[in-house]
């Protein structure tokens, strides 16, 4: 990933999903495996994600590319498409080397949304991302953590290029309202463990 993109991501703040500023600070491990993320398979060539399946929380959702909003934050799917997820197209595609990022809403005023149960994922749960080349990148959750929005560990989330990773990100914690929404981010960290044809 180009250095400029990493630097933009390190300071990202998104109100819809709740990305916080990058810093050290409080976080809660909701579920963690025994070891750190590991590269278990060779990276895949670039191919845009088209759908996402997370059986453990009964999620099957389309994936649409999202870029940067006019204010420099990462855009999110519009609320009228809150059951859709958004892949940040300024970063790796899922399966490529580096951390691919997919964002989604936790809820709306009408009720739960696509990543409402993200916090319930556990190490070992599988995430499958179907890609435009008809391959399916298979990831295994290594940890699920909640971070204060003002203490998002940007380098860990966006800068770890030791293998093919995936980050699913949504809102969490206490609802504070206004432009902030929820006080925290919930992030599921996952590592590529294989691939197959769709």
Kindly report, residue by residue over 53-85, the tens digit of the pLDDT: 999 999 999 999 998 767 565 677 887 888 899
pLDDT given for residue 20 in this prediction: 41
Q: Is the pLDDT of residue 26 over 60?
A: no
Kindly report, residue by residue over 8-19, the tens digit of the pLDDT: 333 333 333 444
Q: Is the pLDDT of residue 159 over 80?
A: yes
The 3-class SS string of 36-85 reads CCCCCCCCCCCCCEEEEEEHHHCEEEEEEEECECCCCCECCCCHHHCCCE
What is the mean pLDDT of the segment spanning 161-187?
83
Provide the 3-class DSSP secondary structure of residue 5: helix
Please name each of the domains of the chain with its CATH number.
49-197 (2.40.260.10)
Confidence band of 25 (pLDDT split at 50, 70, 90): very low
Confidence band of 31 (pLDDT split at 50, 70, 90): low
């Amino acid at each position: 990933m180009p250095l400029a993109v990493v630097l933009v991501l390190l300071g990202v703040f998104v109100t819809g999903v709740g990305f916080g500023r990058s810093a050290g600070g409080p976080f809660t491990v909701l579920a963690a495996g025994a070891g750190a993320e590991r590269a278990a398979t060779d990276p895949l060539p670039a191919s845009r994600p088209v759908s996402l399946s997370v059986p453990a929380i009964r999620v099957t959702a389309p994936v649409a590319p999202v870029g940067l909003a006019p204010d420099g934050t990462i855009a999110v799917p519009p609320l009228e498409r809150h059951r859709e997820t958004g892949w940040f197209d300024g970063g790796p595609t899922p399966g490529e080397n580096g951390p691919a990022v997919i964002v989604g809403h936790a809820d709306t005023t009408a009720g739960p949304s696509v990543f409402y149960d993200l916090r319930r994922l556990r190490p070992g749960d599988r995430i499958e991302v179907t890609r435009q080349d008809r391959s399916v990148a298979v990831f295994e959750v290594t940890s699920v953590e909640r971070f204060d929005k003002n203490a998002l560990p940007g380098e860990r989330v966006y800068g770890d290029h030791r293998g093919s990773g995936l980050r699913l990100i949504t809102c969490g914690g206490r609802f504070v309202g206004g432009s902030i929404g929820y006080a925290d981010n919930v992030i599921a960290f996952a590592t590529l463990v294989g691939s197959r044809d769709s």
